[in-house]
Amino acid sequence: METSFNCICGQGYVLSSSRDACVDTDECAIKPEICGKGVCMNTPGSHRCECYPGFRLTPSGVCEDIDECARPEPSCVDGRCNNTLGSFLCHCDEGWALDHSGTVCIDRREELCFSSHQGDECLDPRLEMMTKKECCCTAGAAWGAQQCEMCPLQHTKAS
Ligand SMILES: [Ca+2]
């Protein structure tokens, strides 16, 4: 009497060559690009993607670039944020310098420091040129060249 049976394999499994067993499909070997920008790990019946730094897993299971510039908390303080594949760049305006973390632009512009102001008008310029921070953290009340900028009030954070 002939004994025969058919295996019906579930998702992630294929029929073995002897046709009597279901064996795991190695998705990573079949489709090496399956994860996109990540490392593929074969698992029984499925696979897992571990994304490279700067990439995240989408609901469809592919690694895609994180747009650091679209985050609610700024990735580039006082500068222009440019998203790149796997990272981002922070560009500072002329006279500003990027800090060591690469995420904050620091004002290095040296302008006149004023001891007082009346409304928007800067008065009593001091002799030395200095940065806004140096000016406002010492005796300055306002700072600037073409435009007079008021120093932040005491006990607030100077930018
Ligand atoms: Ca990015």
Q: For the chain, how many residues are written?
A: 159
CB atoms within 10 A of CB 46: 14
CB within 8 A of 101, min separation 6: which ones?
A: none
Structure confidence at residue 1 (pLDDT) = 56
Take residue 80 and report the two structure tokens written for it: 């222009």
Going from the Cα of 91 to the center of ligand 1, the distance in angstroms, rounded, reads 15
Going from the Cα of 47 to the center of ligand 1, the distance in angstroms, rounded, reads 25
Contact present, 117 and 148 (Cβ < 8 Å): yes
Domains of the chain: 13-63 (2.10.25.10), 68-107 (2.10.25.10), 111-150 (no CATH)
Structure confidence at residue 2 (pLDDT) = 59
**Cα dihedral 47, 51, 57, 60 sign:** negative
Structure confidence at residue 156 (pLDDT) = 57
Going from the Cα of 53 to the center of ligand 1, the distance in angstroms, rounded, reads 10
Q: How far is CA 75 from CA 47, 65, 89, 127, in A?
A: 33, 15, 9, 37
Going from the Cα of 33 to the center of ligand 1, the distance in angstroms, rounded, reads 19
Structure confidence at residue 31 (pLDDT) = 93
Q: What is the 3-state secondary structure (H, E, C) of 119-138?
A: CCEEEEEEEEEECHHHHHHC
Take residue 119 and report the two structure tokens written for it: 């409304």
Structure confidence at residue 62 (pLDDT) = 95
Going from the Cα of 62 to the center of ligand 1, the distance in angstroms, rounded, reads 15
Residue indicated by tokens 């989408």: 58
Structure confidence at residue 3 (pLDDT) = 63
Q: What's at 124, amino acid-wise? A: D
Going from the Cα of 43 to the center of ligand 1, the distance in angstroms, rounded, reads 28
Distance between start and end Cα atoms, the chain? 89
Q: How far is CA 133 from CA 3, 92, 111, in A?
A: 88, 17, 11
Going from the Cα of 130 to the center of ligand 1, the distance in angstroms, rounded, reads 36
Structure confidence at residue 13 (pLDDT) = 92
Going from the Cα of 81 to the center of ligand 1, the distance in angstroms, rounded, reads 10
Consecutive sets of 10 residues in the chain, 159 residues long: mean pLDDT of each? 74 88 92 95 94 96 96 93 96 95 94 90 91 91 88 66
Going from the Cα of 28 to the center of ligand 1, the distance in angstroms, rounded, reads 25
Structure confidence at residue 154 (pLDDT) = 66
CB within 8 A of 146, min separation 6: which ones?
A: none
